[in-house]
């Protein structure tokens, strides 16, 4: 498989290894200081309606970036449907619905499809082509050490793990590098994947003796990892079978109140912030602080003499206040699926221009053209 990168006999396995060892550090330094145009890239899986964790963990951050981005900065956000099938295929009708719901959610929250190139990953074939090229610079052993692989592979019996799950981080790297991304807004749980992405960029530059790929910077948001309402030891996720574990952007006020009141807390009468001993209450305080844009200690002091029920009701109020216009926009958009499809097609038309140009340059660098 390493022959995919062969330009001549000298670019065999030993040359590839030696180039990496002798030049990785110098190319990392060179790339970091090179004047690459600023490109923000991020992807979000089409898990249907975005939930509170998606909103605070990614969408709100992206909107802030969108508002402060300087002239000349490129913003690309992809609905990464190829990543969604790494653990197995989804029924076609559900797959299409999930993509549209995620797109509608992003737009309803404030992602501007004119300022941000919003597109569906699988519409751009160059993503998988670059992933194949980058795969020649990576080993199965290293990929199997990635935390996401270790976690998700446990769900498959007798070693029946899909190839896509192993290759997930390489495709993720291709998503960013295809557009020569310089900044990647992702959570802290993606740090190891970012390290692998950077290693691939450095390795490619070293092997082919170019300064082509920038070394992307991880951009973490201001909020800690958003936890499940029913089990604050795990992150909020659409894969949780209980709908009470998460609040979705289209939930009505009554549903938000219900979910907040049923959120895990404890039997202590007062409210204190202690993530170890009082994980449930601390999770609620974290959410309240995030929605009111205030420090957690200040919020904890505010509720020090309150009951957990009072905290839950106050939390429901601030969430509903933020989500009320969003859910209105969401339902309006979802009533016009042709419009959603047009927006994704428009984004794909913009993205493919960049992708084709860059993949042509990459193929030329590799001697494939």
- Stretch(es) of the chain classified as CATH 3.40.50.620: 39-225+337-366
* Long-range CB contact pairs, 150-157, < 8 A, 24+: 152/87, 155/87
pLDDT of residue 6: 33
Angle between helices 308-334 and 253-261 (to 10 degrees): 140
pLDDT in tens, 326-350: 999 999 999 999 999 999 999 999 9
Thinking of the domain 243-335, which architecture would CATH place it in? Orthogonal Bundle (1.10)
Instruction: Mention every residue, 6+ apart, whose C-beta is less than 8 A from residue 327.
Output: 108, 249, 250, 251, 252
235 catalytically annotated: yes
With a cut of 90, say whether residue 311 has pLDDT above it: yes
Asked if residue 289 lies in contact with residue 331, where contact means CB atoms within 8 angstroms, the answer is no
The encoded tokens of residue 42 equal 């991020």
Spot the catalytic one: 94, 227, 238, 259: 238
pLDDT of residue 107: 98
pLDDT in tens, 224-234: 788 999 999 99
Write the CA distances from 259 to 263, 285, 319, integer angstroms: 6, 15, 11
Write the CA distances from 264 to 55, 247, 270, 308, 340, integer angstroms: 21, 14, 15, 10, 37
- 15 pLDDT band, cuts 50/70/90, is very low
Query: Mean pLDDT throughout 88-96?
Result: 93
pLDDT of residue 144: 87
pLDDT of residue 239: 84
3 catalytically annotated: no
- Stretch(es) of the chain classified as CATH 1.10.240.10: 243-335
Alpha helix (H) ranges present in 69-120? 81-84, 92-109
Q: How many CB atoms lie within 10 A of CB 146?
A: 19
The encoded tokens of residue 53 equal 């964790």
pLDDT of residue 156: 84
With a cut of 80, say whether residue 8 has pLDDT above it: no
pLDDT in tens, 128-138: 999 999 999 99
Spot the catalytic one: 17, 94, 142, 152: 152
More confident residue, 219 or 21: 219
Angle between helices 163-177 and 191-207 (to 10 degrees): 70
What is the model's pTM?
A: 0.87
pLDDT in tens, 238-263: 888 999 999 999 999 999 999 999 99
The encoded tokens of residue 261 equal 């009141």
CA atoms within 13 A on the CB side of 153: 19
Spot the catalytic one: 142, 235, 357, 364: 235
Q: Which CATH superfamily is domain 39-225+337-366 in?
A: HUPs (3.40.50.620)
Beta strands per DSSP E along 110-236: 117-120, 183-185, 217-219
SS3 131: helix
Q: Which residue has the tokens 């001697």?
A: 367
Mean residue pLDDT of the chain comes to 89
pLDDT of residue 103: 98
Instruction: Mention every residue, 6+ apart, whose C-beta is less than 8 A from residue 85.
Output: 95, 164
Query: Mean pLDDT throughout 22-45?
Result: 66
With a cut of 50, say whether residue 30 has pLDDT above it: no
The most distant pair of C-alpha atoms in the chain lies apart, rounded to whole Å, by 74
């Amino acid at each position: 498989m390493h022959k995919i990168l062969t330009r001549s006999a000298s670019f065999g396995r030993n040359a590839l290894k030696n180039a990496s060892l002798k030049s990785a550090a110098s190319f990392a330094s060179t790339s970091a200081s090179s004047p690459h145009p600023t490109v923000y890239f991020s992807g979000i899986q089409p898990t249907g309606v975005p939930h509170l964790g998606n909103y605070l963990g990614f969408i709100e951050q992206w909107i802030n970036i969108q508002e402060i981005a300087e002239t000349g900065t490129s913003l690309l956000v992809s609905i990464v449907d190829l990543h969604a099938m790494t653990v197995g295929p989804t029924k076609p009708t559900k797959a299409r619905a999930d993509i549209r719901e995620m797109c509608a959610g992003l737009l309803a929250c404030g992602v501007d499809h004119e300022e941000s190139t919003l597109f569906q990953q699988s519409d751009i074939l160059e993503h998988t082509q670059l992933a194949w090229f980058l795969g020649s610079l990576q080993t199965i052993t290293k990929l199997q050490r990635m935390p996401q692989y270790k976690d998700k592979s446990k769900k498959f019996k007798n070693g029946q793990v899909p190839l896509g799950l192993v290759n997930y981080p390489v495709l993720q790297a291709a998503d960013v590098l295809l557009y020569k991304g310089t900044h990647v807004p992702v959570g802290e749980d993606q740090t190891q994947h970012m390290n692998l992405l950077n290693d691939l960029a450095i390795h490619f530059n070293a092997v082919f003796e170019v300064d082509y790929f920038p070394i992307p910077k991880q951009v973490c948001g201001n909020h800690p990892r958003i936890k499940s309402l029913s089990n604050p030891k795990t992150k909020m996720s659409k894969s949780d079978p209980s709908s009470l574990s998460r609040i979705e952007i289209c939930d009505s006020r009554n549903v938000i109140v219900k979910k907040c009141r049923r959120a895990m807390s404890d039997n202590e009468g007062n409210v204190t912030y202690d993530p170890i001993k009082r994980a449930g209450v601390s999770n609620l305080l974290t959410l309240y602080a995030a929605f009111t844009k205030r420090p957690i200690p200040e919020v904890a002091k505010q509720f020090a003499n309150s009951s957990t029920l009072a905290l839950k009701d106050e939390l429901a109020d601030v969430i509903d206040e933020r989500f009320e216009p969003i859910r209105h926009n969401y339902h309006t958009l979802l009533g016009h699926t042709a419009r959603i499809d047009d927006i994704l097609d428009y984004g794909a038309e913009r993205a493919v221009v960049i992708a084709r140009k860059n993949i042509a340059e990459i193929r030329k660098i590799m001697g494939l053209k």
